[in-house]
Structure 1
């Protein structure tokens, strides 16, 4: 204890500078321009830079535990998401629409009533998706009572998606499958629905319209009708129900034309039959009352004139009745039921255009909303058409009214003329005239009755003969496989995208990582050769380290044999530096042997005597590297001296398990001889000078003449002198020592030391003219950095020996 106190007192006497002076670099060699070629450092060839396939593969191997889990996770999420989307099935049927020619229903001398149900194919497409038809389908299939119909677009939950995945991958053993109910198709009545009922059915109608598609097969009269849904049976039921309801309603509309005509003819025939019976009764009564039993048919001119006048009057009255009936229909708004003779062809065309625009308005309102400009444009056209139809109706009503009034005037005129003729004929065979009039009235009534009865029978016959001009030629079947979503394609695309994203993220992280990780980084950013790559120990070696430490603690052995061992770490905060037999670390031993070879070949002529080990920052492994290099050189039989020049945080004594006293600081601050501070180690041929007491002015001590004399004396008595110095960028001690040794070895920890630190360390050394042998890439995790098992020795040997060959010819 007394000796230690004496050494500390001597050190305090040398503290002649203040703390600020210690931050400066004392006794620095004058700066001179230094070229890389002065020390044989190869300038990095930028043409060799860039990203090669080997580098890409290394980065991918390094980041594989980022890329693969990320790809697996994204692919799993994509798989779950695509299985959350229900499978979509499409059912399709085909409808054939036959051509229909127009046929006359009623044909008389004055008018013709025709039934023409010729619709264009495009009109059929619009009618197939019209709201009234789809409402009938909803009611016939009772879709409003099936909640699953509107849930077709609802995504499954994650649990349901996982069950579906399990069901598919296990072939139906596990998970849930698609269930569907049997259809119950009923013909919906074609009745006018209230606004409230249509509003209630609107969601179901919109769902049908959004999934229903109708197209015309080119150059045919066949319509392909398809419907998509997540229930395959329901899809088939819906498309078949739409086709069936449309065919039935089309046939019903066609029959309505003949039904209306037949009803009008029946009513007119009944009226004519009553009139005929009245005329016959009048003739019989007149004959009986006037005692007329027969007529010879001989009459004068007055009688013939009276008979003709009566016939014209009856005809005028019949025409007036017909025109009155037509006019009454127009007044009641039943223009559609008018015979073709009286109907306005322009009005029919306007109605067809109005129907088409109303269907288009419904479709655009559902698709774009009521505020869309296209909807407003269609509604403006509908308004204009309605005005034109109203104008046409008014014109037609005025025309028919004028015809009716003219017929009334003609009838009145003829009746007045008839009364005049009767007055004239009163004086002539009044009984014969009256008899002939009544007889003519009976015959006229019979002819009209027979004509109308014949037409009524023809209409009823044509009504019975009417057939459906459309039929389903290929009904829809339950689809066996879905049309979407394309799950496998989406999953593969997700896998590809996730791999690309993972690889891109790996390269991005690699770009952000500015630490030194490879020989190429050292050559690129420091233009220095790599002397060796020291790999990190694997898990098995770490377990061996812990076991060796426990064994050492149990046995209480503080000074193990280091002849065939390696020091594994030199953490200043760890009071127990691990020492492991070399047989446990074959790869590390080989790496240090490579470093030993590089050191011996680092100078021309003879191996270097004094070597300084330093690093850019603490914790890079400089002490471990220095000790193991000294052990490796000592194993060749060379006398090696290790000097702990880290007078601030010394660790060499713990690495070698030797005493800390007296140490280098005691020698530099006193008149002691070098032999007094040199300690022997358990490694043959290996001696060491530890730090000793930590001085207050380490930089000045290391720059003193005593340090120069120590190095000179050690060079004469030892073949190799290895100096362990503090980190280069933290203090000025390594810079001072670098000018007094044969060469400097810079230790860089892979994945920890940044490129800027490496570049600055090299600049600090070259600025004072220090000779840098090269760099040791320490603690490189070969697996993590993506290298193969033999890449470390390959890259280190290749880098150094190529540089050595270039420098020494």
Structure 2
């Protein structure tokens, strides 16, 4: 009979557990999915005291730091940096001309970096003698220097100055005013007077350093121009020597000539040959004019003499004779050449007649023609002489021009070097003038004043920072604790970890005697166990199993209370049920019933067959139960024997349901042994109790023993703490209701 009961077909369907679990999840309304913001809120509520404590600790630390921190005073001087160009070389600019916003930005970034430069800090330290200043040393935690330091060596003084400059660099902030050419120089020290003094000195030293850089730039330009002047002068002198030497070798002589109409016009050098050619050409032109005039005068005199001589019979005869001879000569030239003897004879006769005519005319014209002819011959002779001299001079000039090509090259080199020298000399003079002017593009707009109060520490800023740090640290601790905490916190995790249907959730109670809550029909505990009993009715095809046991991972998770409460719930709906305490090592049923641990389970397992004499009843509810009995030395052996099967069978003859309160699984062999003897196992998990790996290990042991796991019950669950409310108190506020309601 017991074997048939153990192998009841209504429970031997392990595959149905998944379907039952799914139906249980759907019926119970426990969805594993939860909005992420609620998940974070749930974690925050779980660790709220850690979060609150961390934030409070950080705020307290921030307040303490603010009270104990050294007071810092900030003084600010404001300067203006103009974007100007310093003229260095005439029209040449000392800085690169503007090409747009990029150059503008580079200029101001350069100025800001110069303000932050280490050399600037060293200038301020030296100008204020901060290495020996008692106020500075006291402000930065030092001591006033002894009198021996007044004769420090240069190396020691330089080292002290560098140390001071390093501290100053950390105490100074350069803050450009957006959208302007203004720059704020802020100095923060523990001494307000010292802050103002350093800020003003910083601005003044920046101006002086800027002037020195400009002067050094002009000095460099002067040195550069001096070198260039010396080099150019040497080149010019060498070129002049080469030109003169070449002119001497080639016999080239030149003279400087200037334009008389323009005194400012530069003089032009010409060779003597060219000058002579010009003069001879002018004389030739005059001689030609004179010769033409003499020729005209001769023609006029001759014409007059011819007119006088035309009436002479002898002249007429000679001219007639000349005409006849010319006619004969023309006829011969048609046939013969001029060298033909008869033609030559005729030509001689014609010339003799011309002489005769001329002689006759001279005799007739008189002395006027002779004078005109003499003047003409003299003018012609002078013209021919000058023309000959011009031709010779022109030939000499052409030869000289050919020899002057190299001379011209040397001349141009001399002129180029002279122009370079003159330009460099002019620029050198301008640099000397610009270097002495001392223009500056930096000006102090506002001098630093003594600060009226400390700029640091600021209570509100520090508290806000402490709050942010506290929030970040609390979030980090919460994440770490949430990752470390592997306990089951809510019904969804209970289902996920156990992979079992959720039979119910038992709310936590402040009452130390939880059984009193169970006995109260109006309590949330009683209602919760009624829900578990209802879920068990749907866990199998035949309803609530006739024999079942409640166990847990470890003790103290509410398995004994759950066993007692399930049996009581069945008893209240008219089912006959009995609770059997099988936790022989740590019995609890007798304490729940409020009686002494008398004869019970251990007695029956040891051989006492009078089971009915061991049954006792709860005085308040008349619920039957059997206590564990005396603690045996071999509990595991007793529970592994067939006597436990006989116990279940004997009780099943008188009761519809037998509920066993089994020992915890972890570390004991009792529960796996009992699990194989009952029709179903209810697994109890305490909220935030056992760790998930221990729960999985315990369930694996039960499954390995062939247990039929009906589902999981989450006990001691605080819905407010876990932000997973189910409204257990809903409908059970009768004790607070007014009469008549």
Partner residue in 2 for 1:757: 694
Partner residue in 1 for 2:585: 648
CA change 1:153–1:731 in 2 (3 A) is same
Partner residue in 2 for 1:474: 445
Partner residue in 2 for 1:91: 77
Q: Which runs of no fewer than 5 residues in structure 1 stay unpaired? A: 1-26, 103-117, 156-192, 258-335, 337-344, 354-388, 400-461, 546-565, 568-578, 795-809
Partner residue in 2 for 1:537: 509
Choose which of 198, 201, 222 in structure 2 pairs with 1:238.
198
Choose which of 659, 663, 675 in structure 1 pairs with 2:600.
663
Matches within 5 A, 1:465-504: 472=443, 474-478=445-449, 492=464, 495-496=467-468, 498-504=470-476
Determine if contact 2:549/2:659 at 8 Å carries over to the other structure: yes
CA change 1:592–1:678 in 2 (3 A) is same
Deviations 1:60-108 (A, max 9, x none): 2111222232244345546766884746543223377999999xxxxxx
Deviations 1:529-569 (A, max 9, x none): 1222223333xx35xx6xxxxxxxxxxxxxxxxxxxx43xx
Partner residue in 1 for 2:188: 229
Whole-Å separation in 2 of the counterparts to 1:643 and 1:346: 110
Residue 508, structure 1, aligned to residue 508, structure 2: no
CA change 1:793–1:704 in 2 (3 A) is farther
Whole-Å separation in 2 of the counterparts to 1:653 and 1:94: 93
Partner residue in 2 for 1:305: none
1:517 positional shift: 2.4
Determine if contact 2:498/2:712 at 8 Å carries over to the other structure: no
Provide the aligned C-alpha RMSD in A. 5.8
Partner residue in 2 for 1:321: none
Residue 528, structure 1, aligned to residue 515, structure 2: no
Choose which of 36, 42, 48 in structure 1 pairs with 2:15.
36
Deviations 1:766-806 (A, max 9, x none): 4444332211222234455x325547799xxxxxxxxxxxx
Q: How many residues align structurally?
A: 494
1:211 positional shift: 5.6
Whole-Å separation in 2 of the counterparts to 1:219 and 1:679: 94
Which secondary structure state, in structure 2, belongs to the residue aligned with residue 778 of structure 1?
Answer: strand
Q: Which runs of no fewer than 5 residues in structure 2 stay unpaired? A: 89-93, 97-106, 143-152, 235-432, 731-741
Deviations 1:297-324 (A, max 9, x none): xxxxxxxxxxxxxxxxxxxxxxxxxxxx
CA change 1:55–1:581 in 2 (3 A) is closer
Whole-Å separation in 1 of the counterparts to 2:179 and 2:504: 81
Which secondary structure state, in structure 2, belongs to the residue aligned with residue 775 of structure 1?
Answer: strand
Choose which of 676, 682, 703 in structure 1 pairs with 2:613.
676
Whole-Å separation in 2 of the counterparts to 1:528 and 1:622: 17
CA change 1:758–1:239 in 2 (3 A) is closer
Determine if contact 2:135/2:194 at 8 Å carries over to the other structure: no
Determine if contact 2:58/2:466 at 8 Å carries over to the other structure: yes
CA change 1:97–1:241 in 2 (3 A) is farther
Which secondary structure state, in structure 2, belongs to the residue aligned with residue 717 of structure 1?
Answer: coil
Determine if contact 2:76/2:448 at 8 Å carries over to the other structure: no
Whole-Å separation in 2 of the counterparts to 1:59 and 1:350: 78
Whole-Å separation in 2 of the counterparts to 1:704 and 1:665: 12
Residue 787, structure 1, aligned to residue 723, structure 2: yes
TM-score (norm 2): 0.52
Deviations 1:233-288 (A, max 9, x none): 5444434345557878999999xx9xxxxxxxxxxxxxxxxxxxxxxxxxxxxxxx
CA change 1:663–1:195 in 2 (3 A) is closer
TM-score (norm 1): 0.48
Bigger radius of gyration among the two: 2
Which secondary structure state, in structure 2, belongs to the residue aligned with residue 684 of structure 1?
Answer: coil
CA change 1:89–1:625 in 2 (3 A) is farther
Determine if contact 1:615/1:748 at 8 Å carries over to the other structure: yes
1:528 positional shift: 0.8
Partner residue in 2 for 1:69: 53
Residue 54, structure 1, aligned to residue 25, structure 2: no
Whole-Å separation in 2 of the counterparts to 1:219 and 1:54: 48
1:612 positional shift: 1.1
CA change 1:80–1:713 in 2 (3 A) is same
1:151 positional shift: 6.8
Which secondary structure state, in structure 2, belongs to the residue aligned with residue 42 of structure 1?
Answer: helix
Matches within 5 A, 1:282-361: 349=221
Whole-Å separation in 1 of the counterparts to 2:125 and 2:660: 94
Whole-Å separation in 1 of the counterparts to 2:689 and 2:663: 17
Determine if contact 2:563/2:659 at 8 Å carries over to the other structure: yes
Deviations 1:105-141 (A, max 9, x none): xxxxxxxxxxxxx999999999999999988866876
Whole-Å separation in 1 of the counterparts to 2:157 and 2:85: 36
Whole-Å separation in 1 of the counterparts to 2:658 and 2:536: 12
1:645 positional shift: 1.8
Whole-Å separation in 2 of the counterparts to 1:54 and 1:234: 56
